[in-house]
Amino acid sequence: MTTNLRDHIVLRLGKDIDNLELVLSKFIPLQYKRNEIILREGETCRYVYFICSGALQVFVHDQDMNETTRDIIVEDNWCSELMSFGKQQPSSENIRAIEPVQLIAIDRQGFQEMMEKVPQFDKVYRQILEASYANSVYRINSFVALSALERIRWLMDNRPGLMTRFSSKLIASYLGIHKDVFSRLKAKI
Amino acid sequence: MTTNLRDHIVLRLGKDIDNLELVLSKFIPLQYKRNEIILREGETCRYVYFICSGALQVFVHDQDMNETTRDIIVEDNWCSELMSFGKQQPSSENIRAIEPVQLIAIDRQGFQEMMEKVPQFDKVYRQILEASYANSVYRINSFVALSALERIRWLMDNRPGLMTRFSSKLIASYLGIHKDVFSRLKAKI
DNA sequence: ATAAAATGTAGACTTTTGTCATCGCTGAAA
DNA sequence: TTTCAGCGATGACAAAAGTCTACATTTTAT
């Protein structure tokens, strides 16, 4: 179960990591069925997850309970609500399994132990944070000024796998456009 | 000149920081006139800036050279292009003084020295990163699904100071709407 | 001080997007 | 198997946003 994570870490930090097995032992395996909610807004996020297989949706609700999807995250990537996890405060976001998913998770205690004992782990966290930030910046710069059609093109250029793998409804909520509009414009490409 | 930064750090980390004066000594003062470009896309970002007074705009150009403003940052806050600064790679963003601005800046060498010698400095960097990330996430979740009018209301609720302090053109480019539309809708509120 | 440039507002018009109703298809549950 | 709920596609229409022009005002440079 930890094979993916081991590969992931070795790829980023090299093979010579002293406490790699110790780190891995702090992760617990979890699995969820399609459509299960893993984190609900208002709850405190207890884990940082690494996705071994499957995919997660991170989303918020607006006042009419419509979903806006901030991110769709697939296998071999990290997922959490870092603000809630870091400060142990209520989450403003929800996380849902959009496919059957196998996760390995580290809780706050294990996380902090690792931060203190394993200097390399500190780097992993920083890389997660930096990558998450870079993603967000990229998305803001791309989306804020783009039309619906341009957003669809952006998705095809940047994350082509999503278009075929997930439902139109989900993709539309990720692009911030309505599913009818998405359906219409898709035909024009 | 370093007074603002000293206050800023003490506020966040408490008074008992051993090497505070050492850290502050690594910062160099800089100033720019209104409309001067501080970082141009394609260049490598050499500094992390702390704004003592004035304000900066972080923006990108689309294919027609229209500006989209990712962030407007005012005094007593940090500003940089962290991806470019961290990896010393070309920046995709521009930074401009939108008011006469007094900055203090730390370069990569000073930054790394501090990261190694002063454990507390490491925390400062993490806080910058976490705050930047939190901002971005908030902005994505807010903006992607909002109409022009709702974006204006969002700005009035979240950053009311900006509306009166800066030009409509700039605000519109921050909201991702056209200045004509902004002007029209503003009248309706 | 004066001229030139940039900005803010407004109206008219076009294009894009949102909304609603309908219909056929598919997959899940009884 | 049959029924039903959800999804995706489409057409008609309404609402919102973009575009262009004009003009008055403000700011900047000389």
Q: Is the CB of B153 under 7 A from strand C?
A: no
Based on the fold, state whether residues A131 and A150 are members of the same structural domain. Answer: no
pLDDT at residue number B163: 94
Domain of A152 in residue numbering reads as 146-189
Q: Which residue of B has its CA nearest to A87?
A: B130
Cβ atoms within 10 Å, residue A145: 19
CA distance A64 to A41: 15
Tell me the pLDDT of chain B (189 aa) as tens digits. Answer: 667 777 777 776 666 667 778 888 889 999 999 999 999 999 999 999 999 999 999 999 988 889 999 999 999 899 999 999 999 999 999 999 999 999 999 999 999 998 888 888 888 889 899 999 999 999 999 999 999 999 999 999 999 999 999 999 999 999 999 999 999 999 988
Cβ atoms within 10 Å, residue A169: 14
Note whether A129 contacts B: Cβ–Cβ < 8 A: yes
Based on the fold, state whether residues A131 and A41 are members of the same structural domain. Answer: yes
Set of chain A residues whose Cβ sits within 8 Å of the Cβ of B144:
68, 70, 143, 175-176
Domain of A58: which CATH number? 2.60.120.10
Sequence-distant (≥ 6) Cβ neighbours of residue A31 within 8 angstroms: A100, A101, A102, A103
- For residue B147, being part of any structural domain is answered with no
| Contact of A7 with A66, CB cutoff 8 Å | no
- For residue B151, being part of any structural domain is answered with no
Instruction: Convert the pLDDT of each residue in A146-167 to its tens digit.
Output: 999 999 999 999 999 999 999 9
Last residue of a domain, one of A125, A141, A157: A141
Nearest chain B CA: its distance from A57 CA (Å): 13
Q: Contact A68/B145, CB-based, under 8 Å? A: yes
Note whether B137 contacts A: Cβ–Cβ < 8 A: yes
pLDDT at residue number A4: 72
Q: Is the CB of B169 under 7 A from strand C?
A: yes
Based on the fold, state whether residues A63 and A31 are members of the same structural domain. Answer: yes
Based on the fold, state whether residues A134 and A180 are members of the same structural domain. Answer: no
| Contact of A184 with A152, CB cutoff 8 Å | no
Q: How many degrees, rounded to 5, is the angle at CA B159 between CA A67 and CA B183?
A: 85
Based on the fold, state whether residues A137 and A153 are members of the same structural domain. Answer: no
Based on the fold, state whether residues A52 and A109 are members of the same structural domain. Answer: yes
Last residue of a domain, one of A110, A125, A141: A141
- For residue B28, being part of any structural domain is answered with yes
Based on the fold, state whether residues A71 and A56 are members of the same structural domain. Answer: yes
Count of structural domains within chain A: 2
Q: Contact A133/B82, CB-based, under 8 Å? A: yes
Based on the fold, state whether residues A26 and A39 are members of the same structural domain. Answer: yes
Note whether B86 contacts A: Cβ–Cβ < 8 A: yes
Q: Contact A176/B133, CB-based, under 8 Å? A: no
Based on the fold, state whether residues A189 and A159 are members of the same structural domain. Answer: yes
In angstroms and rounded to an integer, the radius of gyration of the C-alpha atoms of chain B is: 18
pLDDT at residue number A135: 95
Instruction: Convert the pLDDT of each residue in A9-63 to its tens digit.
Output: 777 666 666 777 888 888 999 999 999 999 999 999 999 999 999 999 999 998 8
Based on the fold, state whether residues A150 and A120 are members of the same structural domain. Answer: no
Q: Is the CB of B168 under 7 A from strand D?
A: no
Note whether A131 contacts B: Cβ–Cβ < 8 A: no
Tokens of B177: 């709407």
- For residue B160, being part of any structural domain is answered with no
Set of chain A residues whose Cβ sits within 8 Å of the Cβ of B175:
144
